Amino acid sequence: MTESGSPARPRVSLVSLTVLLLGVVLLVASIRQAGASSILDSIRSVGLWLAVVVLLGAARMAVRARAWTICSRAEHPEGLPFGAAFGAVLAADALGNLTPLGLLASEPTKIMLARRHVSTAVSLSSVAVENGFYTASVLAMLLGGVWVLLQRAHVPPVIEQMGEAIVGASAIAGLLAFWMFRTRPALLSRAGHVLARLIGRPGSAATFDALERSVYDVVLWPASRLAKVLAWEGVFHALAVLEVWLILRVMPGGGATSVPEAFLMETTGRFITVAFKFVPYRLGIDELGSGSVAQLIGLGSSSGVALALVRRVRILLLNAVGIILLARDRATLNDR
């Protein structure tokens, strides 16, 4: 109960229910606008290729797990085992998609599961650093998508404005990162000390100090380690573009789908994921955005909506594996 006498849990549930209902409304509207029969034909055409799509999705999870293990070696000689990292990524992605908490659920899950193999400091710093590399790669992906989109004729003014906003935000983020790595301001450690005092655990402040040093020390890494992490993050996006290209190619009328078009569709999906991570599974939003961009570049809105639905099936299947792994992990703890 809260101080006002009303329970807090129903309010959270009401917010979740509202978001879910809005997502359903957007989903239905997107399907009706694109044409249910056309979307169904497109989904059916994928057929057994869905297995390849799921494998590509799993490969993307494995690639990020590999990048994470390399980041962990900066603080631990052997680093985090790949199998443990892969399982943690699958479980964390499931929780991040299932709940409105998004990254606030997925990243702590990675840290919690990694603590079985490395220290809390190593798990925390490696997750933070890998997320930094991933964020940089996403910004590069978005900038590339904006460039490809603006090369096409008849781009609506609102799309141009969105592209300019992404370019501006990326420039600001780049300048901020340059300033931080050059001056090494003690922002995180100061916040950590304040938080430690508030929760009555002054000893935990040292963890934030170590985390901040780990982030800033990335610029001191060997060039080979930096190149490996950046390469794996790049492979993650390349596999995503390949997945989109494959799905669109097997759909009716999609035989001429080009790689730039697949790249643009993936960029749209990545932007939606970043902007609406708080919406469970981005229900309705994925379909609306994908259908709109597909219509804009001449692929047809039905292909875009079908693409989003097929990818959602892939996400659900992999998330089911992640939930099973998480449940097994908790069962193992209970048995001890």
Q: What is the mean pLDDT of residues 256-277?
A: 89
260 within domain boundaries: yes
Quote the tokens at residue 145.
Answer: 């998508």
The backbone region for 16, taken as left when phi is positive above 0, alpha when psi lies in -120 to 50, beta otherwise, is: alpha
* Residue 203: burial class (beta carbons within 10 Å; 0-12, 13-18, 19+): exposed
Dihedral sign for Cα 131, 149, 235, 177, please: negative
Q: What are phi and psi of 186, to 5 degrees?
A: -85, 55
7 within domain boundaries: no
1 within domain boundaries: no
200 within domain boundaries: yes
- Of 144 and 235, the structure prediction assigns the larger pLDDT to 235
21 within domain boundaries: no
pLDDT band of residue 4 (cuts 50, 70, 90) is very low
303 within domain boundaries: yes
Interhelix angle for 120-150 vs 259-275, to 10°? Answer: 130
Q: What is the pTM of this model?
A: 0.87
- The answer to whether residues 307 and 248 touch, using CB atoms and an 8 Å cutoff, is yes
Asked if residue 2 has pLDDT above 60, the reply is no
- The answer to whether residues 304 and 40 touch, using CB atoms and an 8 Å cutoff, is no
Quote the tokens at residue 323.
Answer: 């939930």
Quote the tokens at residue 129.
Answer: 């650093």
Residue 15 has what pLDDT? 67
pLDDT digits (tens, 9 = 90+) for 148-195: 887 775 777 777 777 778 888 888 988 998 898 889 888 877 887 777
Asked if residue 199 has pLDDT above 80, the reply is no
Question: Which range, 210-219, 231-240, 246-255, is most confident?
Answer: 231-240
28 within domain boundaries: no
**If DSSP codes are grouped into helix, strand and coil, which group holds residue 221?**
coil
**Domains in the chain: how many in total?**
1
- What's the domain range around 175? 36-335
pLDDT band of residue 111 (cuts 50, 70, 90) is very high
Asked if residue 30 has pLDDT above 50, the reply is yes
213 within domain boundaries: yes
The neighbour count for residue 140, using CB atoms within 10 Å, is: 15
Pairwise CA distance, residues 299 & 316, whole Å: 25
Interhelix angle for 259-275 vs 301-335, to 10°? Answer: 50
